[in-house]
Amino acid sequence: MFRCLFLLLLIALPCHAIERKAFPAEAPGSKGTVIVLADAGAVVDSGHWQRTLLRTLPRHGWRALSVAQYDGLSSLPEALQSEPEPHYWVVSGATAGEAVNAMATQQLPLPAGLVVLGPFRQTPAENDALPAQLAELGIAVLDMSGPGDHPLAQATTEARQQANRRTANPHYRAMDWALDWDQSADTLAQRIRGWLKQQKTSPQ
What span, in angstroms and rounded, lies between the C-alpha atoms of 204 and 201?
Answer: 9
Q: What is the pLDDT of residues 67-119, one digit of tens each?
A: 998 777 877 888 898 999 999 999 999 999 999 999 999 778 899 999 999 99
Look at residues 69, 68, 134, 78 and name the one whose alpha carbon lies nearest to residue 103: 134
Query: Per residue, what are the HEC states of 78-103?
Result: HHHCCCCCCEEEEEEHHHHHHHHHHH
| H or E, element range at 63 | strand 63-69
pLDDT reported for residue 151: 97
Best CA proximity match to 32, nearest among 96, 93, 90, 100 = 90
Reported pTM: 0.88
117 or 2, which is more confident: 117
CATH number of the domain located at residue range(s) 25-201 in this protein: 3.40.50.1820
Three-state DSSP state, 112: coil
Q: What is the pLDDT of residues 134-193, one digit of tens each?
A: 999 999 999 999 999 999 999 999 999 999 999 999 999 999 999 889 999 999 999 999
b (16+ CB within 10 A) / e for 60-99: bbbbbbbbbbeeebeebeebbeebeebbbbbbbbbbbbbb
Q: Tens digit of pLDDT for each residue in 33-66?
A: 999 999 888 889 999 999 999 999 999 999 999 9
Is 93:39 a contact under the CB 8 Å cutoff? yes
Q: φ, ψ for residue 24 (rounded to 5)? A: -65, 150
What pLDDT, on the 0 to 100 scale, is given for residue 203? 52
pLDDT at 73: 83
